[in-house]
Structure 1
Amino acid sequence: MVEHNAPQRLVELLSTDGESITAAWIDGVSTSLRGRVSAAELNRELHELYAATLDALRKGATDGTGEDFSEVRALLTELSRNRARQGFSPSETAAGVFGLKSALEPFLEDGSVEDVRALLRMNRLLDQLGLFTIETYARTREEIISAQADQLLELSTPVVKLWDGVLAVPLVGTLDSARTQVVMEKLLQALVDTGSEQAIIDITGVPAVDTQVAQHLLKTVMAAQLMGAECTVSGIRPQIAQTIVALGIEFGDIVTKATLADALRHALRKSGTDLVARDGGRR
């Protein structure tokens, strides 16, 4: 009998005092969000949630993970993803669910056993839905962070056309496997798109070169060579040169230069272009 009365009392309460409860719910959530969501949007979201929750309770369901609450979970998924994209915190997002607890309390103050059971049952339900909301929010934030990381990776590995037939990839920061893959893909595609036969990989902005970084560089150079392009590695500072020698890293027949300017002069000569100084001398 207990299992039957609690949902029945909740349906009665939510049906009779629906407008007052939703008004209190909207007011409480609006305060926690500090006006960062428009009143119209918040009103629509919470009214839809309220109606879907009441509909599930009318079916006798009180398990937020059950089939009868699928529409409620769908609405919470949309709400959570929107909040995550808008930059809200997990607690601000969960307030959309947990705020209903506070809104309900004044309507269950007569202290009857039935009301207490109904409130406990509703609290358990809202805890389930709140947990679902936070989990959905967390997944969405992970997706956003991953997408932003990919975008930053793209931006941090530009392929620049220095001259007709000469491309350059100025690298800044640490070179790892994921970034090497992006560098390789962008460089190879640029070689195809521009028909270039000379490529410069500039590591002036790479703080240190270890065995792993060297291997990544060699893979990129070899991939470019397979496309018919000659690669020059520039930005070999004295400290990096010493490290490479100490580690016993072999660059083989790969051309290396101290500066990007030296590498560009080499690439231009290889492409059949002569540089003439202002005084008329060749360089």
Structure 2
Amino acid sequence: MRNLIFNYVETHRSEIVNKWISQMKRDTDERVVQTMSEQMFLETSKEFIELLISSFTKTEGEFQLKLTEFAEKIVRLGWSLTFVTIGLHTFGHIIAETMQQDEVVGQANFIEFSTEFDRWMFPLYNTIIDTYANTWERTVSLQKIALQELSAPLIPVFEKISVMPLVGNIDTERAKLIMENLLNGVVSHRAEVVLIDITGVPVVDTMVAHHIIQAADAVRLVGAQCMIVGIRPEIAQTIVTLGINLEQVVTTSTLKKGIEKALEMTKRKIIEVEQ
């Protein structure tokens, strides 16, 4: 029966691929399909079906290697775990339905077919889901490390003046990283004034403000002055509403104003030179 299933799938592969693509486009989230070009979706879909069919002929090691490579590809392309799960279910349903329609499977051999089909599909299903999940976790972990490395750099913009631009939400883990980068940067750049730019921070609540104030206090302890810039009107209103005390910290609405203030604090200024 296993050979019967394999031979049928092998000889009807084009029909199965076309039906699978048609059903997936109709029944799944359009956003998954729209994340790539039509040609890319067709090629990836064919590769997915080819991978499933190859589980009949490849050794476990060969299949696992191809599966891992494919999982890494579809994670990058944005195929969700839900999409993959539905895809597997659709693949199995198409094979079972077409084999019955073509009378390859009937009442006489239906039980034998169902048993052998499940014996093939269930391990395949589990292997693909596990591989996808592991690949996704590994990818997310690597992205997180990369983001942490790029997150909250202290950039020297003038002698004795450095800027730390903050972008995105700030949680406790990221606040710790900001503090470390800030203090190490102040010492290594010999900064006298540090500007923390929160223009790119979407929400400033009590916890975020607390982390920023802690960072400012830490900067003062290593002999530098700290300024918070990029305070938008809505953030100013939130700070006042929450009763957050920023009296010990110099603040400005824009980075430009902050740079001008920092130059004054280091006894310098920008002047226009006539040509």
Shorter-chain-normalised TM-score: which range?
Answer: 0.5 to 0.7
So what's the TM-score if we normalise by structure 1? 0.63
Mean CA deviation greater in 222-231 or 196-205: 222-231
Identity %: 30
Match of 1:86 in 2: 77
Picking from 12, 18, 39, the partner of 1:24 is 12
Partner Cα distance (1:37, 1:279) in 2:
60
Is contact 1:211–1:249 with CA below 8 Å preserved after alignment?
Answer: yes
Partner Cα distance (2:43, 2:86) in 1:
11
**Aligned residues between the structures:** 249
* One-letter amino acid of the counterpart of residue 269, structure 1: E
Picking from 258, 262, 275, the partner of 2:269 is 275
Partner Cα distance (2:163, 2:91) in 1:
53
* One-letter amino acid of the counterpart of residue 109, structure 1: V
Partner Cα distance (1:241, 1:195) in 2:
30
Picking from 230, 233, 240, the partner of 2:228 is 233
Larger radius of gyration: 1
* SS of equivalent residue, structure 1 residue 36: helix
CA distance 1:258–1:144, change in 2 (3 Å):
same
Pairwise mapping of residues 183-262 of structure 1 onto structure 2 (< 5 A)? 183-206=178-201, 209-236=204-231, 240-241=235-236, 243-251=238-246, 253-262=248-257
- The root-mean-square deviation of aligned C-alpha atoms, in Å, is 4.2
Is contact 1:171–1:203 with CA below 8 Å preserved after alignment?
Answer: yes
CA distance 1:94–1:144, change in 2 (3 Å):
farther
Partner Cα distance (2:225, 2:245) in 1:
17
How far does residue 12 in structure 1 lie from its aligned partner after superposition? 5.5
CA distance 1:24–1:91, change in 2 (3 Å):
farther
How far does residue 175 in structure 1 lie from its aligned partner after superposition? 3.6
Partner Cα distance (1:24, 1:174) in 2:
51
Picking from 109, 125, 146, the partner of 1:130 is 125
Pairwise mapping of residues 18-57 of structure 1 onto structure 2 (< 5 A)? 18-25=6-13, 27-29=15-17, 32-33=20-21, 35-37=42-44, 45-46=51-52, 48-52=54-58
So what's the TM-score if we normalise by structure 2? 0.65
1:216-235 deviation digits (Å, cap 9, x = unpaired): 10222234345543211224
Structure 1 gaps, min length 5: 1-9, 56-68
Structure 2 gaps, min length 5: 22-40
Partner Cα distance (1:223, 1:246) in 2:
25
CA distance 1:73–1:235, change in 2 (3 Å):
closer
* One-letter amino acid of the counterpart of residue 274, structure 1: R
Partner Cα distance (2:216, 2:202) in 1:
20
Match of 2:38 in 1: none
Is contact 2:20–2:90 with CA below 8 Å preserved after alignment?
Answer: no
Partner Cα distance (1:119, 1:93) in 2:
21
